[in-house]
Amino acid sequence: MIYDVVIIGGGVIGAAIARRLSRFESSVLLLEKESDVAMGASRANSGIVHAGFDPLPGSSKARLNVRGNQLMEELCLDLNVPFKRTGSLVVGYSPEDLKTLEVLLARGKTNGVQGLRILNQAELMKMEPNLSPDARYALHAPQAGIVCPYTLTIALAENAVQNGAELRCETMALGIESEKGRVSGVKTSQGLIRCRWVVNAAGIWSDEVANWAGSTSFTILPYRGEYCILDKKQGDLVRQVLFPIPGARTKGILVTPTVSGNILLGPNRTLAQNREDYATSSEGINEVLTGARNLVPGIRNQDIIASFVGIRAVSDNGEFIIGPTELKGFINVAGIQSPGLTAAPAIAELVTDILQEEGLKLNPKPNYIPQRAGVFRFARASREERRFQIDKDKTFGEIICRCETVTAGEIAGAIHGTIGARTLDSVKRRTRAGMGRCQGGFCSHRVTKIIAAELNLLIDQVTKNGPGSELVRSRG
């Protein structure tokens, strides 16, 4: 088989492009080296749908941010993904900060962001009573929102697959094949895959993938960002996304609600030792806590339930690198750092246009279905819905994760879903089992047993997140 398009990288960008292409008759294959989609930056980020006042006017980041924000609400509705238009505040403390807020306001207006306004202290405190009493002004962006980045990525990939795209996980791209100056295939850990176009959406590895195609004009620098998550009992500490005055290179350490009802703090920014440098550090956590407490002084250490690291794919010129290359049929979608999550639906539109300009025929599929069926969530269901579900299937009456109220039925559903979860972490990302106060202390072994039983595996074959992360060691 010769695919029309092979996309390297199952993050939010690769998945959004796959879904966009799945509305046309072309054959599409999404390749992911890990055991699931959303295992890179799309798993570990702030989950903010930025309004678009931050990127410089005229830049592709500005245009794609604002367009992505406009598309996000309907996209999430179609895919049954929780999205909240919470709004955001950039908080200032001094007359100097006020000047910066005015610059951001003007920039946002030029970028086409609606509803921006600078608030005074009284308005601020009414909106966010837990904000630092030293806060004097804030830029309010009602268009900003929040989304769960990995839920969105999984939903995009699932809808692409439902519409005929293929997904192969644990398949690592290793090189590009070409004939007469044109892409002819991708060498992978599972053999050669022939195709006419390749989209490089490999995140922190996208410079290496580009090099295989002779595109050597950029380098990716991996910058770590550490986070802390607070227990849901602190979930109403803030109502919207709170940013400090941005630094030269980052939007600073923020405090935000999540769509799941937690509070997220972070990220800091340090150059990573290597591209998979995901270990958290006490210095990083302290930096995050100090930054977050400048905004919300009442944050307490005892409410932290987890910490994690995300790695930014920063191109050496700081820009998104999206476009065709000298090798015909090879398209880069690289250096997609923030606001890449927000921009993902707009980037998918742009890349589809580029592929068309490069010769891909786009005939609409008559049976394309943009909606993804909802997933039953016991924790969110009414009493009647729960009763109904349990009457149909008793496993929906067996609570496995007590903190997040996740049932055995939901876990089995995730395992047998469109992109079936095969690991403990992929069940967690689909159901939230293990994401509560005890962080899986109570339910991990029970989820592991369900995975083994449903997939007919031995218990020592079940992994946390793919080969090499087996949870149980056999004595033999």
Ligand X SMILES: Cc1cc2nc3c(=O)[nH]c(=O)nc-3n(C[C@H](O)[C@H](O)[C@H](O)COP(=O)(O)OP(=O)(O)OC[C@H]3O[C@@H](n4cnc5c(N)ncnc54)[C@H](O)[C@@H]3O)c2cc1C
What is the rounded distance in angstroms from the CA atom of residue 260 to the CA atom of residue 246? 26
Residue 203 found at the interface with ligand X (CB under 6 A): yes
Amino acid of residue 279:
A
* Beta carbon nearer to ligand X, 209 or 424: 209
Burial class (CB in 10 A: 0-12, 13-18, 19+), 135: buried
- Candidates 205, 212, 330, 396: give the one binding ligand X (CB under 6 A): 205
Residue 342 found at the interface with ligand X (CB under 6 A): yes
Residue 185 found at the interface with ligand X (CB under 6 A): no
The Cβ of residue 286 has, within 10 Å, a number of other Cβ atoms equal to: 12
- Candidates 157, 201, 354, 435: give the one binding ligand X (CB under 6 A): 201
* Beta carbon nearer to ligand X, 9 or 291: 9
**Helices and strands, number each (H, E), in the chain:** 12, 22
- Binding part of the chain for ligand X, among 5-13, 242-250, 271-279, 408-416 by CB under 6 A, reads 5-13
Residue 242 found at the interface with ligand X (CB under 6 A): no
Is 140 noted as a catalytic residue in this protein? no
Q: Which residue is nearest to ligand X (CB)?
A: 340
- Binding part of the chain for ligand X, among 136-144, 288-296, 337-345, 364-372 by CB under 6 A, reads 337-345
Quick note: the x/- pattern for ligand X over 136-175, rule CB under 6 A, is: ------------------------------------xx--
Identify the CA nearest to 148 among candidates 418, 377, 341. Answer: 341
Residue 39 found at the interface with ligand X (CB under 6 A): yes
What is the rounded distance in angstroms from the CA atom of residue 288 to the CA atom of residue 391? 47
* Min CB(267)–ligand X separation in Å: 4
Q: Which H or E element spans position 354?
A: helix 340-357
* Beta carbon nearer to ligand X, 347 or 412: 347
Residue 45 found at the interface with ligand X (CB under 6 A): yes
* Beta carbon nearer to ligand X, 158 or 454: 158
Q: Name the active-site residue from 50, 140, 416, 445.
A: 50
> Positive or negative, the Cα torsion across 316, 255, 11, 350?
negative
- Residue 179 pairs in a beta bridge with 182
**Contact of 199 with 6, CB cutoff 8 Å:** yes
- Residue 242 pairs in a beta bridge with 89, 255
- Binding part of the chain for ligand X, among 54-62, 212-220, 307-315, 385-393 by CB under 6 A, reads 307-315
Residue 40 found at the interface with ligand X (CB under 6 A): yes
* Min CB(363)–ligand X separation in Å: 27
Which pair of structure tokens corresponds to residue 364? Answer: 């609409």
* Min CB(434)–ligand X separation in Å: 21
Residue 13 found at the interface with ligand X (CB under 6 A): yes
- Candidates 22, 26, 35, 42: give the one binding ligand X (CB under 6 A): 42
**Contact of 316 with 221, CB cutoff 8 Å:** yes
**Secondary structure (3-state) at 282:** helix
**Contact of 403 with 442, CB cutoff 8 Å:** yes
**Secondary structure (3-state) at 192:** strand
* Min CB(59)–ligand X separation in Å: 15
Alpha-helical (H) ranges within 11-89 are 12-21, 60-79
> Positive or negative, the Cα torsion across 100, 106, 108, 110?
negative
What's the residue count for the chain? 476
* Beta carbon nearer to ligand X, 347 or 451: 347
# of chain residues touching ligand X (CB under 6 A) = 40
Residues lying near ligand X in the complex (CB under 6 A): 8-14, 31-34, 39-42, 45-48, 50, 172-173, 201-205, 209, 225, 267, 310-312, 336-342
